[in-house]
Chain A
Amino acid sequence: MRYIFCLILGLWPLALSAQNWEDRQIFRGAALQDAGANADAVQLRILSSTDTAFFTPIIHRFLADRPSVSIEYLVAGSAQIDHIFRQDPTQYDLIISSAMDLQFKLTNDGYAQPIEDLVTPDWAQWRQSLFAFTSEPAAIVIRRADFDGQPIPQTRQELIEALRARPEVFRNRLGTYDIRRSGLGYLFATQDARASETYWRLTEVMGNLGTRLYCCSGDMITDLANGKLAVAYNVLGSYALARSETASALTVVLAADFPTTMMRTGFVTASAPQPDLAKEFIRHLIQIQTEAVDPESFLLPPLIQSQTIPAQSTITLGPALMTYLDTLKRRMFLKEWTRAIIR
């Protein structure tokens, strides 16, 4: 490996350290590794909701051609990102998040700048500013050990029946996003609710059995692997499959009735300190994600999936995404959800 990435905590100003990052890493180009200091380096600051491990190979590839660049990769929850960024929009060059609705609203509110010459399908961009680079369905992840001899549910309805049939197995062993904290969880929940009433029945069944609420997919996968959970609903299947030690114990089910598919999106901020470099990074990212090169080292699901997912189930990038972000709508939705899931 020509590059090392190191975690530096002490060197940063107090104002930034005060922020509670889930993860924070600095990647340096080859030319910067000997110098040790990073005073003169061109630095790109990426604020992202995606775990660092997924981006590491992409960043390394990017830095291979740009040895004098360093990248600071900051990870926060998707809802947090919106909050952090709106407070100080001049600090970051790139915002990458799985919460399409929040990303859309940031773009709509004029926080993104266009990249004119980037060619990507029309459905995968908005205003040539917000670009999608993955297609990832929300999955039901099942711990195979708890379904020994039982049929694996393929739809939400079958899941409801399976839960009702063996309540003693599933009591307090169900997991889903805490949609009050997770932007992506809220997006999945609202899109499910929009698609079918089955969502509310499932939520009530889960609420009756006792459901653990999580901030992130990663934590849910961990608890599935160690047996705390038997079923996790609306998890990113990519996270489960990415971990080889869990892949064998878990089954990822894409609900056959209506698989909700989200696209991870990124944009260059309107007041980015390094706009040109940030645009190059987006181009680099889209290129890797659309050309499907070397899936072994690049772990993120590609933008254009194989035919397993019907196209219409993908959440559309459009003004309608702002509907559930409305204060009144959100208040109502959370009230109803809380009533159903928390007993």
Chain B
Amino acid sequence: MAEPGQVQGSLRNRLAVTLIGGAALLALLLFLVVRSYAAQIAQQGQDSILTASVSSILDAAVLRDDQVEIDFPYAAFSMLTTAADDQVYYAIYRDGGFLSGYADLPQQASSAVPKQFQTALYDGKAVRISTASRTLLGADVRTRITVSVAQTQDALSETLNQISTNVASFGLGFFMLAVLLSFWVTSVTIAPLKRLTTSVTRRGPQDLRPLTKPVPSEMLPLVNSLNTLMGRLNQSLSQSEDFIAEAAHRVRTPLATVRSYAETTLQRVDKEENRQALRSMVRAIDESSRAAGQLLDHAMITFRADHLEHEDLDLGDLVQELVQRLTPVAEMKDIDLVLQIDRPVRLIGDAILLQNAIRNLIDNALKYSPSESVIEISVTASPNPQVAVRDQGAGFPSDEIADLAQRFSRGNNARGTIGSGLGLTIAQDVAAAHGGSLTLSNTAGGGACVIFSV
């Protein structure tokens, strides 16, 4: 099994957090900027009305017999009417001395250059005060009239609150949109990566073809590297398979020759020692030959699994034919092959591979079965087409069942028996190539049971 990769952060989260955080920051900025701008405009509005009120009072000021008369218009105060019913205060000064209005209004007539606008507290409320002066020239006097008009800021703060609420809801709306958008952008951005992962994951174990689907330009280097890596892997795999097949093939032919010589020689020698040595030799040669054969089979299966042939066949016929072929071998060991067939067991598959796989299973059973025992072979159609092979041997070592189907793996109890450890591997590869599985278990009586299902 491959080691799971180390995880450090998540592209999706990083992207989403960056986008959402940015949107939140922008929304907040929008709120603050618009609010301060609105406050400025609203204040300007109030200031200009207060200024108009002050100047309409100042304009009405006249000197008559050294008396100041200010017959200011009704509009001077009516223009200060607001929806929030703001309170209005005013004060008129002559040369710094109070003349009329609210005497305790915060005044600055005494200062040389009075500020035009100021915000002050009056009667416990914040008021905006506008102040202006005018010099009146009489016959022999020169006097300075200063007028302050003040107004509370209820309407202003109502307007500001309303604007704030509106801007806040706009900001929140934009933010929500940005959040939705960023989720969408994130998933769209991550999608090709996911697709690539899926297409790599879905591949069969032998599929090392390069990835050809178009990908975003940022992912091209990754895909190229992946393709190069797979290409190299494929090449080295096929090289080694070729090498094994070639080697097995080259070894098998001379081995056959050597075996036939050994057999011939065995006929000729009489000395028991020599005969013993020759028999060992033949056995060793058989083992090597069988191993070479299985290596060849395995290489063929690896090749064929990639280019599976699909033909309609009957599993029962196939197994029956195999059993007939193997019956002589079984008889040599006094083993009965009992075949049970559920007819018909139709399936679509590669006949050569299936034959090879099942032959390996029966071979194994023959190998590990004691003399004068029975091997049951049953072919059933449901739920899946499957072949079960049960022997009366020692069975699988229970602690190794999981690993036995791996290449070159043999059970502990298999020493002294000819075998390469490839038999189960071949069967499993064929089952996998057909979308099936190989199940190993021990029967209640102690024998091994292998179920090959497609």
Contacts and interface: CB of A to CB of B under 8 A. Distances in A.
Interface string A186-230: 000000001000000000000000000000000000000000000
A318 interface: yes
B97 interface: no
B74 A108 contact: no
Contact of A318 (B69, B71, B78, B101): B78
Contacts of B99: 327-328
A156 B88 CA distance: 34
Contacts of B71: 328-329, 332
Interface residues of B, number: 23
B80 interface: yes
B85 A322 contact: no
A328 B68 contact: yes
A319 B78 contact: yes
A110 interface: yes
Nearest to B89: A108
A328 B70 contact: yes
Contacts of B75: 320
A110 B123 contact: yes
Nearest to A335: B69
Interface string B62-84: 00000011111111111011000
A319 B92 contact: no
Interface string A310-336: 000000101111110011110010000
B49 to A, nearest CB: 11
Interface string A107-120: 01110000000000
Contacts, number: 58
Main secondary structure on A side of the interface with B: helix
A164 interface: no
A337 interface: no
A142 to B, nearest CB: 30
B87 to A, nearest CB: 5
B74 A194 contact: yes
Contacts of B92: 326, 328
A110 B102 CA distance: 13
Interface of A: 108-110, 126-128, 194, 316, 318-323, 326-329, 332
5 closest residue pairs by CB, A with B: A320-B78, A319-B88, A327-B100, A127-B85, A319-B77
22 contacts: A108-B88, A127-B85, A127-B87, A128-B85, A194-B74, A316-B78, A318-B78, A318-B81, A319-B77, A320-B77, A322-B77, A322-B88, A323-B72, A323-B76, A326-B70, A326-B92, A326-B100, A326-B101, A327-B100, A328-B69, A329-B70, A329-B71
